[in-house]
Amino acid sequence: MSIKPPRLEKGHGIGIIAPAGPLNQSELQPSIDLLISLGYGIILAPHLYHRQGYLAGSDDSRLEDLHSMFHNEDVKAIFCARGGYGTLRLLDRINYNLIERNPKVILGYSDITALLLAIYKKTGLVTFHGPVVNELHKNENQNLSLLLELFSTQDSFRWDLTKGKALMPGKAKGILLGGNLSLISHLIGTPFMPTLGETILFIEERGESLYRIDRMLTHLRLSGLLNRIAGLIIGRFIDCGDISDIHHLAMDMVSELNIPVVSGLPVGHGTQNVTLPLGLQATLDTEQMIISIDDSCFR
């Protein structure tokens, strides 16, 4: 059973953490200023701007920042500052009981995929795959606008797929899960990977060659997880070669499953990055070319 977080509203505090790669204040400030102008309070993690090589500080400091945001009653949502690498190193040390007792919105993508899926697996908390903070002000604020539209919707919500392509027609219902393909692949075989049985899976990637994507999808298939999904959505594959090659590769993997497969959802790396809730019942319909959730994301 999924746990829904309380709704984020204007005037609430947003905690900002960097559980993966490092960044400078100048990279975050435009988005912080934008959130403040919209009426949100901003609470920066104590170690937000720390740097230890390719990590945003030590494992201890990044873990402390994550825990402190779930402890802090003034923080109503937790936004991750950027992706990069590092969340995998934290998964076996996270206090999941703390998170389950204090459910909150947590948002990010790319390397943050590991954190979102692990939290959902261990607690049932609905998490949010969407823009990181240093990208909120980009795309003329459209990604932030779509994020806030989802957060303000009281009931069901739908995403338009009409600019995409139905690779295999059909209609399916299932729990919406997904994220960065590399991170999903790395979670296989760990206690932090959710079951994909009867799920609608979405995948996205950046900067991976076709043979590496083949290897990750094959790993997913050999694990038995890919064979259990109810539907597949192919998001952005930026700098990964010709998207038609990705389509053919994906169809090689799932064509015998007789499930709906669509491409073209603007999720993940790229100019547009829509926000999707992980852990809620959804419907994928290739006739109407929509993906919809059947209930509110919030309690």
Mean pLDDT of the chain: 96
SS (H, E, C) 227-289: HHCCEEEEEEEECCCCHHHHHHHHHHHHHHHCCCEEECCCCCCCCCCCCEEECCEEEEECCCC
Q: Whole-model pTM?
A: 0.97
If one counts the domains in the chain, the total is 2
Residue 154: the pLDDT is 81
Query: Is 73 part of the annotated catalytic residue set?
Result: no
110 is a catalytic site residue: yes
CATH number at residue 272: 3.50.30.60
Q: Looking at 47, 129, 137, 269, which residue is catalytic? A: 269
pLDDT of residue 224: 95
CATH code, domain with 44: 3.40.50.10740
Residues 141 and 173 in one domain: no
Q: Tell me which of 61, 110, 182, 263 is the catalytic residue.
A: 110
The single residue of 135, 204, 205, 208 carrying the catalytic annotation is 204
Tell me, yes or no, whether 38 and 123 share the same domain.
Answer: yes
Q: What is the pLDDT of residues 26-41, one digit of tens each?
A: 999 999 999 999 999 9
- The domain of 131 spans 13-152
Tell me, yes or no, whether 6 lies in a domain: no
CB 260 within 8 A of CB 164: no
Contacts for 176 with CB less than 8 Å, ≥ 6 apart: 199, 200, 202, 276, 277, 278, 279, 280, 281, 282, 291, 293
pLDDT reading at 210 higher than 80 = yes
Q: Is residue 5 assigned to a domain?
A: no
| Residues 151 and 128 sit within 8 Å (Cβ to Cβ) | no
Active site residue 64: no
Q: Is the pLDDT of residue 1 over 80?
A: no
For residue range 128-137, list pLDDT tens digits in order: 999 999 999 8
Helix axes 243-254, 210-222, angle to 10 degrees: 20
